A = this chain, B = another copy of it.
Amino acid sequence: MLNPKYLKTFATLAETGSFTKTAERLFMTQPGVSQHVKKLEQSCECELLVRLGKGIELTEQGRQVYRYAQQDEARQQRFLEQLKFDEPHQGRCILACSGAVALRIYPGLTALQAKYPALSIHVEVAPRHRIVESVKQGTIDIGIVTNTPADESLSADYLAEEVLNLFLPATVTDLTSINTTLGRLGLVDHPDAAHYLQLYCNHSGEESLANLEIPKLKRSGYVNQLSQILLPVSAGVGFTVLPASVEKHAGHGSNIAVYPAACTVSEPLYLVRSRHRKLPARYAGVTKAIYDAVQQS
């Protein structure tokens, strides 16, 4: 739309106030300057300067175009300069993970960002399949998921275990016939509830849970806001299965009990990246922050 050469010529003309001097300074001929200005005026669809007997005067639009030209040149120069460097604490990092993992890693990432204000960390909470998809197509640089994707173009590094808890209202004291109790309470549903519950029942080491008929289970509520899933449980109106770390952040305290299963149930977390892509230096610090966050909790 706006030819940058014309902008440069116009800016110089605005500064010198003379077509001839502009031509000299830019190593071109005077008619060239005239033509650049004319074409720029055509692009802008308005007059940029008025010819007075002595010298020229910019119109209001001419002034605006001059400002734009200056800023544009400066911006481009800055951009090209920083393009050459791979600053370790500067630029945009784009991650995706589940809501539960976000709860675990976001404080550490925020701290990192506070330490290096030029860092800009974007965390997107998304369902598993969309995370893998986004990393593959390159819109997300690092994904955290619970399995190693089959795709050859992706690499997966083991991070940590994510412990799953079965959360019950604290009012439930009799745990002898757990299946009946769960059936009475009903599941507080959320996007990952079915997956978590299936996993939990199969690996809790308790025969009764393994026989739980999940599809037939009553759904006593649904919410896709992680921090609010435990609310109905604390109110005594349902149960749910979630990563253990969620409880700390939600803070419903003594109203919630954790079912004491025979085995601890957990699933692994993997850090997924594009195998063919060399990530910029700033991801080193971010990756370290992620490791620290998931391993301490």
Contacts and interface: CB of A to CB of B under 8 A. Distances in A.
Interface of A: 1-4, 44-46, 50, 52, 57-61, 63-65, 68, 72, 76-77, 79-80, 83-84, 86, 138, 153, 274, 276-280
Given A2-B76, A276-B50, A276-B52, A83 B57 contact: no
A168 to B, nearest CB: 47
Contacts of A84: 45-46
Given A46-B83, A79-B68, A80-B44, A277 B1 contact: no
Contact of A61 (B57, B65, B83): B83
A52 B151 CA distance: 15
Contacts of A60: 86, 277-280
Q: In this complex, which of A60, A63, A153 has the most chain B Cβ atoms within 10 angstroms of its Cβ? A: A60
Nearest to A79: B68
Q: Which 6 residue pairs are nearest across A and B when measured between Cβ atoms?
A: A60-B280, A68-B79, A57-B276, A1-B76, A61-B83, A2-B76
A92 to B, nearest CB: 8
A2 B81 CA distance: 13
A280 B60 CA distance: 7
Nearest to A58: B138
A217 to B, nearest CB: 43
A76 B44 CA distance: 11
A60 B92 CA distance: 11
A80 B280 CA distance: 35
16 contacts: A1-B76, A1-B77, A2-B76, A4-B4, A44-B83, A46-B83, A50-B276, A52-B153, A60-B86, A60-B279, A60-B280, A61-B83, A63-B138, A64-B79, A64-B83, A65-B83
Q: In this complex, which of A52, A59, A83, A276 has the most chain B Cβ atoms within 10 angstroms of its Cβ? A: A83
A57 B138 contact: yes
Nearest to A57: B276
A276 B84 CA distance: 47
Given A45-B84, A64-B83, A65-B83, 19 more contacts: A1-B80, A2-B4, A2-B80, A3-B4, A4-B4, A44-B83, A46-B83, A46-B84, A52-B276, A57-B274, A57-B277, A58-B138, A59-B277, A59-B278, A60-B277, A61-B83, A63-B138, A68-B79, A72-B72
A234 B113 CA distance: 51
A276 to B, nearest CB: 6
A77 B59 CA distance: 20
A59 B46 CA distance: 40
A77 B1 CA distance: 9
A273 B280 CA distance: 53
A1 B279 CA distance: 26
A151 B3 CA distance: 37
